[in-house]
Amino acid sequence: MRYTKELIKIEENIELLMEALTDEFTRQETRRLINSGGKRLRPLFLILAAKAGTINDKCYEAAASLELLHTSSLIHDDIIDHGKMRRGRETTVSVYGRGKAVSAGGILSIFAMDNIISLEDEKASAAMIDTLETLCLGELKQLDEKYNFEITYCDYITRISEKTASLFALSCSMGGILSGAEEGTVDKLYHIGFNLGCSFQILDDILDINGSEKGTGKICGQDIRTGIITLPYLLLMKKDPSFKKRILSMTYKSSSSEFDEVTDEVRKSSALKEAYGVSNFFLDKACNLLSTLGCPEVEEGFTHIINKLYRKRSTTKEA
């Protein structure tokens, strides 16, 4: 596997950070969640982006911190969405309840922030703070939009920009910042990460409909059941007035069978193919930016990941 050396070093740094967590419950729960899997995309993107400059120990420390920040965001996501399963394992909130889950997620995000500050790089710290604020705003927006099935395409893009793309953008830009890349390169890396994040989230939303519980590690159709409408549903609503009317009539009181029926309708429609097209639109924007970086090693690294993960996801039901 390519980048085995980098991934091993990322795992070593994650382990060091987990050992440094002083709260025993948060340390044990973080280890349980980290060990449940995950592709380590965000830390790997940071290291790949850092090849635009000179990779150093700070890059790996930051990469591990961003994986912990990502983990904290998943804990809070599951609290808000009443998530029972993730990566094939029970979520923190389903095992320990809201109180402990809120506390663990909060401690972990502050711990990740503190580790970035300890690197003593003002630009990296400022970027982390901005992203943490954006993530929180995204969560609030999603809460406000729960069971509001009248949101627009622009509302949806704003939501995934804040909740997902912002952290991908941070990963890529921080790699550039900490490796000493030029300011223009850092800006391009930010937008590469942003577009990859949008593409990734759309693919994830498709898998929520078209994947299997075994493949995704969570219950399929979970988004709509918890009041979160995603791009495939919006695309079919735009084309089919009767489907739109049906969706707009649904509330948190609607039955599981009703949610299953609308999900099945989307699954059988052309909306999934159209959603793949939107995902590829963002992916192509990222690829176009990569070609202008003037850093062959960075372009090659990201292209490898894109071909292995993104393209694969867009042609299969599971990833």
Whole domain around residue 42: which residue ranges? 4-313
What are the two backbone dihedrals, phi and then psi, of residue 83, each rounded to the nearest 5 degrees?
-70, 135
Q: Note the pLDDT tens digit of each residue in 280-289.
A: 999 999 999 9
For residue 125, give Cα distances in angstroms to 72, 178, 192.
Answer: 18, 11, 20
Does residue 180 sit within a domain?
yes
Angle 112-116-119 from CA coordinates, rounded to 5°: 145
Q: Note the pLDDT tens digit of each residue in 96-129.
A: 999 999 999 999 999 999 999 999 999 999 999 9
How many domains, in total, are found in the chain?
Answer: 1
Are 142 and 163 in contact, with CB atoms under 8 Å apart? yes
Residue 312 has pLDDT above 80, yes or no: no
pLDDT of amino acid 127: 98
Determine the distance from the C-alpha atom of residue 252 to the mean position of all C-alpha atoms in its chain, rounded to a whole number. 25
SS3 80: helix
The DSSP annotation for 276-303 comes to HHHHHHHHHHHHHHHTTS--HHHHHHHH
SS3 114: helix
> Which residues, 6+ apart, have CB-to-CB distance to 121 below 8 Å?
58, 177, 178
What are the two backbone dihedrals, phi and then psi, of residue 110, each rounded to the nearest 5 degrees?
-65, -40
Beta-ladder partners of 85: 90
Dig out the tokens for 272 from the structure.
């999934």
CA distance 297 to 300: 5
Does residue 318 sit within a domain?
no
Does residue 288 sit within a domain?
yes
Q: What is the CA radius of gyration of the chain?
A: 19
Percent pLDDT > 70 in the chain is 96
Q: Note the pLDDT tens digit of each residue in 247-287.
A: 999 999 999 999 999 999 999 999 999 999 999 999 999 99
Does residue 54 sit within a domain?
yes
What is the domain-level CATH number for residue 103? 1.10.600.10
Does residue 156 sit within a domain?
yes
Does residue 319 sit within a domain?
no
CA distance 269 to 285: 26
Q: Letter for the amino acid at 162? A: E
CA distance 108 to 293: 34
Q: Higher model confidence: residue 285 or residue 219?
A: 285
Q: Exposure string (b/e) for 192-226, b if CB count within 10 Å is 16 or more?
A: bbbbbbbbbbbbbbbbbbbbeeeebbbebbbbbbb
